[in-house]
Amino acid sequence: MRPTGKLHLGNYVGALQNWVKLQHTYDSFFFVADWHALTTDYDDTSRLADNTLEVVLDFLAAGLDPEKCAIFVQSHVREHAELHLLFSMITPLGWLERVPTYKEQQQQMPNKDLHMYGFLGYPLLQSADILIYRPDFVPVGEDQVAHIELTREVARRFNQFYKLDGKPVFPEPQPLLTPSPKLLGMDKRKMSKSYGNSILLSDEAAVVEEKIKNSVTDRPKLTDKGSPDRCPVGNLHQIFSDRDRLAYITQGCTQATITCVECKALAVQSVNAHLEPIRERRRKLAQNPGKLMEIVRYGAEKAAKTAEGTMVAARAAIGLLQMDAVKNVAAKIPADTALRVPETISSAKNEEEKWDIRVATWLEQVNKVHPLKKDRRGIFITRKGRKVGVHAAGEERDGWNFEFENRPVNVLVLLAEDKNRYLHPYVLPPKFLQNHWKFGESADRWIRKVDGTVVLAIGNDNISIQEYEGDYSALQ
């Protein structure tokens, strides 16, 4: 979704409400498309960051769960831009010029100069946004199926030019049609922020009441018979009222046996009953901006794991010289090889068994690049004879607590398993250990997330170790 600021009920019933359901069935990625906002609003970015956060707030308030799906901001996952650039090399201009919205929007916004490279290329950026996650499906409304078709064409073209080990890199994703019930704006036009006829997901109860009471209905006179299908209030009943109430107002409207005043009062009740828990969640979240930033950062990390996996494949298929081939370092762990601890860990009898499972998961990957010899429990030796201390812990409420004896090592590896069973390896090189020797001596060793950054917490000191995640250069 583009960062248009607070979302309205049209956005909610047309997409968001369905996403909340999908997150339980699919590995899902939902993001605020802030780069897309620049394709038309490049000349005024004063509200961009605030609007982005408002949309994130609405995502969360509506029920998207950061533990169940990835919720993030597009510009925080730079791989989207890299893939867009690569696609721009192989996409014929004609494909973009014939996208219907290209001409339509230029006509709709005559006062805006949209003869920009970014505006022409935005459907291709969308294709990159989609294909970077190599998805099976894209949840869209009927009107966006054409955009998915362009994405499928781009995937096909890339796969024709480039293959990885003889296989295509990208799938051709299918549209997953979102049931989007009709919802008129309060003036009977399409619900849209620019028309000023929308009810916001975050509107207070009294504001919702005011807007519904002032809406234009389908029965100018009390004696006129109307149709809930053609009335914004009727639409609200169709979405938010239970079956009995909907039957009551439908009968009353079509037979002119109820007044619009009564019908509106019932709609106010139904809409407010649905929105109250959403408003409550939003209020709580809005009070904690630090937590909000942590959530989008966490979402971007999750998304980047998959996105980087795709980029590794795409770069290799094209034949670009791989960074890893030069440095022989797995700097980041792509999703295909992401470290996921097997489910058996839940039935481990004690901490030692858990340690075995976590370390075995890690070694399986590391040994391919930097073989380690086991010395004794918790200590390994590199090819160059460096001593590597390996410790593992599962996520608790405050982070990860590492319990180990103080033994001299050259490199310290802290394996932090998160709540989704992904293992984050922090590889602290000799230089780091020399500078922070007191870490080894401290009895209380924690890794925590502070303001979205992973830190080593020793006494009152918080030392960032983010940059060492998955950086195996110390094991060469």
For residue 467, give both structure tokens: 């940059």
Going by their DSSP bridges, the two strands 137-140 and 174-177 should be labelled as: parallel
Cβ distance 455 to 463 under 8 Å? yes
Q: Which amino acid is at 32?
A: V
Cβ closest to ligand SF4, residue 185 vs residue 309: 185
Contact pick of 264, 302, 315, 354 for ligand SF4 (by CB under 6 A)? 264
**d(C-alpha 475, C-alpha 439), whole Å:** 20
Cβ closest to ligand SF4, residue 24 vs residue 190: 190
**d(C-alpha 171, C-alpha 167), whole Å:** 11
Min dist. Cβ of residue 14 to ligand SF4 (A): 20
Is 445 an interacting residue with respect to ligand SF4 (CB under 6 A)?
no
Cβ closest to ligand SF4, residue 258 vs residue 278: 258
Nearest to 271 by CA among 334, 206, 350: 206
Within 10 A of 360 (CB to CB), how many other CB atoms are there? 11
Cβ closest to ligand SF4, residue 17 vs residue 217: 217
DSSP secondary structure, 21-54, as one string: HHTTTS--EEEE-HHHHHHHHTT--TTHHHHHHH
Is 394 an interacting residue with respect to ligand SF4 (CB under 6 A)?
no
What x-and-dash track marks residues 131-170 binding ligand SF4 by CB under 6 A? ----------------------------------------
Min dist. Cβ of residue 184 to ligand SF4 (A): 10
Cβ distance 19 to 30 under 8 Å? yes
Min dist. Cβ of residue 252 to ligand SF4 (A): 6
Is 335 an interacting residue with respect to ligand SF4 (CB under 6 A)?
no
Cβ closest to ligand SF4, residue 173 vs residue 234: 234
What x-and-dash track marks residues 294-333 binding ligand SF4 by CB under 6 A? ----------------------------------------
Which phi and psi angles does 452 have, rounded to 5°? Answer: 80, 0
For residue 168, give both structure tokens: 């295509």
Min dist. Cβ of residue 179 to ligand SF4 (A): 21
Cβ closest to ligand SF4, residue 211 vs residue 370: 211
Q: At what angle do helices 34-41 and 48-62 cross, to 10 degrees?
A: 140
**What residues from 202 to 261 belong to the interface with ligand SF4 (CB under 6 A)?**
217-219, 226, 228, 231, 233-234, 249, 253, 258, 260
Per the listing, tokens 């590492």 go with 402
**What residues from 180 to 199 belong to the interface with ligand SF4 (CB under 6 A)?**
none
Cβ closest to ligand SF4, residue 190 vs residue 438: 190
8: which DSSP letter?
B
For residue 406, give both structure tokens: 């103080």
Three-state SS at 410: coil
Min dist. Cβ of residue 271 to ligand SF4 (A): 13
Which phi and psi angles does 413 have, rounded to 5°? Answer: -110, 125
Beta strand spans in 345-410 (E): 373-376, 379-381, 387-394, 400-401
Min dist. Cβ of residue 258 to ligand SF4 (A): 6
Cβ closest to ligand SF4, residue 150 vs residue 212: 212
Min dist. Cβ of residue 260 to ligand SF4 (A): 3
For residue 43, give both structure tokens: 């000349």
For residue 251, give both structure tokens: 């009968």
For residue 77, give both structure tokens: 């996952």
Cβ closest to ligand SF4, residue 109 vs residue 261: 261
Cβ closest to ligand SF4, residue 260 vs residue 357: 260
Cβ closest to ligand SF4, residue 74 vs residue 238: 238
Is 17 an interacting residue with respect to ligand SF4 (CB under 6 A)?
no
Q: Which amino acid is at 322?
A: Q
**d(C-alpha 48, C-alpha 144), whole Å:** 24
Min dist. Cβ of residue 465 to ligand SF4 (A): 60
- Count, residues near ligand SF4 per rule CB under 6 A: 14
Is 38 an interacting residue with respect to ligand SF4 (CB under 6 A)?
no
Who's near 189: CB < 8 A, 6+ residues apart?
195, 197
For residue 462, give both structure tokens: 């918080």
Min dist. Cβ of residue 96 to ligand SF4 (A): 43
Is 263 an interacting residue with respect to ligand SF4 (CB under 6 A)?
yes
Min dist. Cβ of residue 55 to ligand SF4 (A): 30
For residue 235, give both structure tokens: 């639409």
Min dist. Cβ of residue 249 to ligand SF4 (A): 6
Cβ distance 253 to 267 under 8 Å? no
Which residues would be at the binding site for ligand SF4 (CB under 6 A)?
217-219, 226, 228, 231, 233-234, 249, 253, 258, 260, 263-264
